[in-house]
Amino acid sequence: MKRYNWKNKVISGTGILCAVLLAGCSSQELPSVLFPAAVLEDTSENTAGAADSDSDSESEEATSAIQLDLEQVLAEGLYIDEYYVGGMTIAEARDVLQKAYEEAGQTAATVYWQTNPVKTNLADLGLYWSIDDALSRAATLWQQGNLIRRYKIRQDLTGSEYHLSMKKRLTQSAVENFLTDYVADVYDIAPKDAELTHTGNGFEVSQDEDGLGVDIDATWKKIAMAYAENEDDYTEITVEAELETVRPHCPTDDLKLIKDLLGSSYTDYSVGSATRSVNVEVATDNVSGTVVMPGDTVSVSERMKPRTAENGYQSGGTMVNGVIEDSIGGGICQVSTTLYNALLKAEVQIDERHNHSMVVSYVSPGKDAAVSEDGGKDLVFTNNRETPIYIEGYTDGTNVYFFVYGVEDRPENRKVTFEATETYRKEYAEGGVEVDAYLEKIVTIDGEEVSRVKLHTDHYEPSSRLNGTIN
């Protein structure tokens, strides 16, 4: 609509209508026609103001940001939802709504996992009422929309009722936490993974079993809908959880694919104490039997379990800050080292690997892999293949062996070798040795080298003793 200058004494048709409508209002309530300049203050062309005052188009954030005057008296005839707040101060109206909110929060809600009921209430499901937002809108009725809309609100409140609404809802995160902690974790039936056993005739695979679990997202939506349909009745909400089939992580058909040897390695652990040998055997047993599905990541230190007497570990020689000491679990680094070399030959992705602080006797410098609970060292790898792999290890009293099985998809004419090279070595009179070394991966096709990649470079400090019992 085009603006007109009051000083030229020309008023638009809408301006005349505004003046006529406002003539019935006292100057204390709304601007009268006697003050035409005030009429021309609002020249907005936004006709959306004719929508209801609790329209979704209104910004809750904007209205709630208004500083409430708790002593302000609300207009007579005003309701917020079914609660009459006319003539109350904002503080009194807030108390009324807050009490009603707390009572509504005690409304019961029951979720059934098949025939198993799990009871709670709306408060625990994160019941939310936009109380302050509704009070802000109630306090600023005269400021909403253009003058025609303000006049309409005033007329609605004259000898009748005017209703505002609160937004009422449950909080998704609270509902999902309830479903997870008190329904799914209690009643869900976990799937059963297939198990693989290596026999003299190959591999045997057990049958997997599906599980049954709560579909959290679908059940949350059912609860939210049930509340929306029942938000003003305050009667118990009852919902049956949506359940879904949960497939095992290691299915039988996938494990049946495992049949080929991808890489292997062994080292001699016979030189050392009897307790150290026990630790090598315990750690090997803990790691052996690991199935790694495509994309899964394995921490070897975690697979070894905590190095405690309860887990079968004994005191043995291990490196602590460059010094060999007796400690629970000494010797387990020979297990991680042997596995590391088998993983290299299988070309499994290595995510984390550390060398020892001193050289060890059971592999060349550059081929070791240390693990330490206290020192933050670990051997971590990820199955970067499209099929599962199986880690098998065993000991025979002299050697520790590791094998990596899976599906061999590498060409027969392609060969991979790993070469450790020392670039510096210095012997010390007291028996220690200082070494720098690096490890390379070499790929040949039909006997011809096609690539040579340096994997890592290591430095080993000298020690006052190096007797083959180093971890």
CA distance 378 to 350: 11
Kindly report the length of the chain: 471
Residue 104 has phi, psi (to 5 degrees) of -65, -30
- CA-wise closest residue to 240 among 215, 219, 216: 219
How many Cα atoms are found within 13 Å in the side-chain-facing hemisphere of 442?
A: 12
Q: Which residues of 303-314 are buried (b: 16+ CB within 10 A; e: fewer)?
A: bbbebeeeebbb
Q: Are 262 and 414 in contact (CB under 8 A)?
A: no
CA distance 402 to 356: 20
CA distance 107 to 120: 9
**Does the pLDDT at position 139 exceed 70?**
yes
* Per-residue model confidence (pLDDT) at position 402: 98
Q: Are 64 and 136 in contact (CB under 8 A)?
A: yes
Task: State which H helix or E strand residue 261 sits in.
Answer: strand 260-268
* Per-residue model confidence (pLDDT) at position 417: 97
Q: Are 389 and 409 in contact (CB under 8 A)?
A: no
* Per-residue model confidence (pLDDT) at position 431: 75
Which pLDDT tens digit goes with each residue over 371-428?
998 778 999 999 999 999 999 999 999 999 999 999 999 999 999 999 999 999 999 8
Which pLDDT tens digit goes with each residue over 13-25?
444 444 444 444 4
Task: Report, in angstroms and rounded to the nearest whole number, the Rg of the chain calculated over CA atoms.
Answer: 38
Residue 50's pLDDT band (cuts 50, 70, 90): very low
Q: Are 365 and 435 in contact (CB under 8 A)?
A: yes
* Per-residue model confidence (pLDDT) at position 38: 28
SS3 238: strand
Q: pLDDT over 70 for what percent of the chain?
A: 78
- CA-wise closest residue to 367 among 378, 353, 377, 383: 353
Structure tokens of 156?
A: 């609605």
Mean pLDDT of 282-296: 98
Q: ∠ CA(311), CA(314), CA(318), 5° rounding?
A: 115
CA distance 264 to 187: 43
Q: What is the DSSP letter of 289?
A: T
Among 164-178, 204-218, 317-331, the minimum mean pLDDT is found in: 317-331
Task: Provide the residue type at 264 as one letter.
Answer: S
CA distance 76 to 158: 8
Residue 466's pLDDT band (cuts 50, 70, 90): very low
Task: Provide the residue type at 140 as one letter.
Answer: T
Residue 74 CB: number of other CB atoms within 10 A?
19
Residue 417 has phi, psi (to 5 degrees) of -130, 165
Q: Which residues of 330-359 are buried (b: 16+ CB within 10 A; e: fewer)?
A: bbbbbbbbbbbbbbbbbbbebeebbbbbbb
Task: State which H helix or E strand residue 152 sits in.
Answer: helix 147-156
Q: pLDDT over 90 for what percent of the chain?
A: 69
